[in-house]
Amino acid sequence: MTFDYDLFVIGAGPGGLAAAKKAATYGVRVAIAEQEDLGGTCVNRGCVPKKLIVYAADFALQNKMAHSYGWSDCPTYFDWTLFIKSVHKHLDSISESYLQQLQKAGIEIISERASFLDAHTISIGGRKVTADKILIAVGGQPLKPNIPGIEYAITSREMFQLPYLPKRLTIIGGGYIGVEFSSMMHAFGCQVTLIEKEEMILSGFDDDIRSTVQQALSKRGIKLFTNTTIQKIKYSEECLLLTINSESREIVAADTILVATGYNPNTKNLGLENARVELGENGAIKVDEENRTNQENIFAVGDCTSRIQLSSVAQAEGIAFANTVFANKPQKLNYDYVPSAVFSRPEAASVGMTEAKAREKFGESVKCYYSQFQPLFYQLTEKDKQGSIKLVVNGDSEEVLGAHMVGENAADIIQSLGVAIRKGVTKQELDETIGIHPTAGEEFLSLN
C-alpha cells in the first residue's frame, strides 16, 4: 500500500517536534499536525513563560536586599501588563522559529486537529490522509479536581492571560507548579495561600528537600495549609470563598484561585478507539520500551503516556523513536537519572534516588550525607537564607545514587552532577575533585 506520508505526527510539542525533525534527517516524508501554537504546553503555557516570570520576580527579591550591598532604596513599580506583552512577544518569536525549522526540513505543517479513522488513516481539516507510521505526542491537560465551585478556579494555562495581578491568590496543589507560582506571585506583592493535601509539599522529591523549601516559603510569608483538602468554592461579589478542612474547618478568601493538582493525558476525542490503541489509567497511552503502542505502526511519546511528565523527557523520547524506527539505531531511554527542578525561591533540584527509594532497594547499606549552608550572596543580609545539599550513597560500593539541593543555581549544579551520577561516580571521586571557590557547587565536594 502507498501512503501519503511515511510519518504523521499528532502534536507539535517538544516530543513531536523532536521526532519530526530527526525523522526528516533520515529522508522520511513527514507531516505534523497541531491545532494550537507550535511548541506545545512547555513553550506557550509552561516552562518558558514560567521561567520568564521567575526572572521578573527575582528583581523584586533582589531589590529588597540591595541596600545591604550599598544601593539606596528607591521606589519601583512593576507593570504586569507590559511584562506579559513582552513574554507573549517572545513566545511568538519561538513559534516562528519552529515554523522556519520545520519548513527548512521539508516537513508539512497542518494547523488542524487530527483524529484516527483507523490505524493508518487520519481525519484532519475535512480530509483523509494516510501514513505508514503515526506518532501521538499530544501532551497533557491540567487536571481539575471534582470540587463544588471548581469552575471558578483557573489553571496554569490561564495564569499567563491574567489582565492584572490578584491581591489575594490561593493555590490548590503543592507540586512544582503550585510551589513555583506561589514563590513568583508572592514576590510581586500578592498575598499567597498554598493548600496541599499531604503533610509536605513537592511529593516525589527527597523529604529533606521538601522540608527545606516548605520552611523557606513559610518564612517568606506564604501561608501554607498542609494535610488539607478543599470542601467547596463559593462565589461572592467581593471574592471567592474556599471552605477547607485542615485541623479545623476554615474559610479562605481569594481574588483568584489557581488549581495545580497535576495533568491528565490529552487523549480524548482522538478517535483512538478507531485505531484500537490501548489506554491505561487516566487515559494514558500504553507503550513499550520503544514507545510503540499495541498497534505495530502507532507510537506515543511525552505526557500522553504514563511516564515522566517533563518536556526534556518528551524530547528525548521523540529522538529515540526516530532513531529506532527510521535509522535502525535501537535506542531505549534510562529513566533512572532524569534530573528535575523547582524554580521557586529558594530553588530546588534533584537527580537519581531519594533516600526513601534508595532504602527500599538497598536497605541499611545506604549512607546519606547532608549539610545546610548559607550562600555567600545572603551573608551580607539579615535574612536567614539556608541552602542545603544531600548525597544518597550505596555504602557497599560508595556509588552515588542521588543528589539533591536547595539553593542558588541548584538546577544547573544538579544538571552537571547528573552526568557523573549516571556514569557511576563514587563518593570518594567527588571528595577528590577540586571545586571552584566560592561557589555553592563546591559544597558537594566536601560533604562529611
Q: Is 174 annotated as a binding residue?
A: yes
Query: b/e string for 199-215 if b means 16 or more Cβ within 10 A?
Result: ebbbeebbebbbbbbbe
Q: Is 179 annotated as a binding residue?
A: yes
Q: Is 250 annotated as a binding residue?
A: no
- Active-site choice (67, 88, 90, 437): 437
Distance CA 205, CA 183 (A): 18
Contact partners, residue 177, CB within 8 Å, separation at least 6: 50, 156, 260
Q: Is 196 annotated as a binding residue?
A: yes
**Residue 378 CA from chain centroid, whole number:** 28
Please give the angle made by the CA atoms of 312, 313 and 314, to the nearest 5 degrees.
90
Q: Is 204 annotated as a binding residue?
A: no
Q: Is 173 annotated as a binding residue?
A: yes
Q: Is 180 annotated as a binding residue?
A: yes
Q: What residues are paired with 171 via a beta bridge? A: 194, 258
Q: Name the nearest CA neighbour of 35 among 137, 156, 161, 155.
A: 137
What does the block give as the cell for 102? 520545520
- Contact assessment for residue 203 and residue 342, using Cβ atoms and an 8 Å cutoff: no
Q: Is 418 annotated as a binding residue?
A: no
Pairing of strands 168-172, 5-10: unpaired
Q: Is 84 annotated as a binding residue?
A: no
Q: Is 384 annotated as a binding residue?
A: no
Helices 14-24 and 80-104 cross at an angle (nearest 10°) of 20
- Residue 295 has, within 13 A of its CA and on its CB side, a CA count of 22
Q: Which residue has the cell 520500551?
A: 289
Q: Name the nearest CA neighbour of 379 among 438, 445, 447.
A: 438
Cis peptide bond upstream of 346, omega within 30: yes
Count of residues in the chain: 448
- Contact assessment for residue 370 and residue 388, using Cβ atoms and an 8 Å cutoff: yes
What does the block give as the cell for 411? 538546577
What does the block give as the cell for 8? 504523521
Helix (H) / strand (E) element for 356: namely helix 355-362
437 as an active site residue: the answer is yes
Pairing of strands 30-33, 108-110: parallel
Helices 47-65 and 176-187 cross at an angle (nearest 10°) of 40
Which residues are catalytic, by number?
A: 437
Annotated binding site: 51, 173-180, 196, 262, 303
Annotated binding site for NAD(+): 173-180, 196, 262
Annotated binding site for FAD: 51, 303
